[in-house]
Amino acid sequence: MKYILALDQGTTSSRSILFDKAGKVIATAQKEFTQHYPQPGWVEHDASEIWDTQLRTIKDVLKKAKATSRDIAAIGITNQRETTVAWNKKTGKPVGKAIVWQDRRTAAFCDRLKAKGAESMIRHKTGLVVDAYFSATKMNWMLKHVPETKELAKTGDLAFGTVDSWLLWNLTEGRVHATDVSNASRTMLYDITKGEWDAELMKLFGVPASALPEVRPSSGIFGETLLLGGSIPVAGIAGDQQAALFGQVCTTPGMVKNTFGTGCFMLMHTGTKRIASGNNLLTTVAWQIGDGELEYAVEGSVFIAGAVVQWLRDGLGIIKKSSEVEALAAQVSDTGGVYLVPAFAGLGAPHWDQYARGLMCGITRGTTKAHIARAALEGIAFQVTDILHAMQADAGVKLRELRVDGGASNNNLMMQFQADLLGVPVVRPVVTETTALGAAYLAGLAVRFWKNQAEIATQWKTDRRFEPTMKAAQRKSLLSGWNRALERTKGA
């Protein structure tokens, strides 16, 4: 068999990518789907549309490669994390809309949990901060506000899952309700030391055990799909950021990657040792290979990264296509003192302010759309820098290089500015589809498409290395301006 099929189900689009044995992209297909904003701070998806777009991309990619089910050794799934789907086990139909990770409707509930003194217990068991970002608060909201969810929970016919579980359920036509350890660790219901759903947390959030998926290793056979004309094993699942860490071959403790997607996500691999953050970062499960030990990572999340470019396109209309932003920003040599803090959905790590909102400051009569475009890109890089400083303090190690991936990592202007701000090289690999590649590697290992992790490591190649050139005084001045802008966005 020639290929591994990776399903990359993201926040704004569903994609399917075929990889060969050398880890090269053979064909790709992508479809955007609708974003629903029913109220300020609410973000929803139609789970049926997610499945429909994902299935269409699978068929498209096979057609493009002139491949059939007989050419596919296994399927790997990677997904937007924390987004929560509820469905009826009997009919397989979603109950209401999926609540997206960016959604802030449960912020007040999180405040009540903190006031009740539940935060330290949650943090100790899950490695997570109490925030509307995570799935358990979304499940709790559904059970309170969607009548059908409550009824199905009583009869044991309710299924809750993150998007990977929803795709797996549909691929196996309802035969398998499962997730992997990395996605489970993002729900706020999973004890990451014991490696199991936690009864105390399920009680706190009112989530019935009968609705939750079985938790399995990230690399291993989950089931098989018969939808593509023959039997293909689904053999790997990981949340998008853990998959990208694996795809970047950051498998040695201390290695760091940052994914520039809709949001920005930086992870440092810490091996089989769980590191408790003293700087408001998350401790998360990285993956589990077969029956091996759980491996961990420290993570910092920026909620709005590439999404700020979509806002320049759709909200302000200053670009027609996202790809135009680099050329527009390059028309000016700096932002002219403009800072754009894209806290559209609050601030993530290391600030965790769910009430912060976006801000643009330093505007003068001479400010142009080019300055705004440049400030938007720089705002992404500033947020990444904040996380890296926190991460270095937690781990007690100085970063040697930052491996980058995701769509916006192809923006050379921003990657150079990122290297300048960090003062360390930023390295972009040849294959920037590392999220999908990580899922492919996890699936491929399970079916022996690749022998072991050592074979996979030989496939990682550098495309471009961005060396820092900025003087320390300029870096200090820019960071000082950023910190002043940041203070003004905070909701407290």
Count other Cβ atoms within 10 Å, centred on residue 451: 10
Known binding residue 165? Answer is no
C-alpha 395/C-alpha 281 separation (Å) is 11
Known binding residue 392? Answer is no
Burial (CB count within 10 angstroms: exposed 0-12, middle 13-18, buried 19+), residue 77: buried
Known binding residue 240? Answer is yes
Contact 366, 325 (CB under 8 A): no
Known binding residue 12? Answer is yes
Spatial CA neighbour of 421 closest among 352, 354, 476: 476
Structural tokens at position 71: 């050419």
Q: At what angle do helices 369-395 and 472-489 cross, to 10 degrees?
A: 100
Contact 225, 219 (CB under 8 A): no
Known binding residue 220? Answer is no
Known binding residue 291? Answer is no
Q: Terminus-to-terminus CA distance in the chain, angstroms?
A: 56
Known binding residue 11? Answer is yes
Cα 166 off chain centre by:
17
Known binding residue 403? Answer is no
Known binding residue 434? Answer is no
Known binding residue 306? Answer is yes
Known binding residue 331? Answer is no
Known binding residue 9? Answer is no
Known binding residue 81? Answer is yes
Known binding residue 336? Answer is no
Beta bridge partners of 257: 267, 403
C-alpha 421/C-alpha 413 separation (Å) is 12
Contact 415, 264 (CB under 8 A): no
* Residues tagged in the binding site annotation for ADP: 11, 15, 262, 306, 407, 411
* Residues tagged in the binding site annotation for ATP: 11-13, 262, 306, 310, 407
* Residues tagged in the binding site annotation for glycerol: 81-82, 133, 240-241
* Residues tagged in the binding site annotation: 11-13, 15, 81-82, 133, 240-241, 262, 306, 310, 407, 411
* Residues tagged in the binding site annotation for sn-glycerol 3-phosphate: 11, 81-82, 133, 240
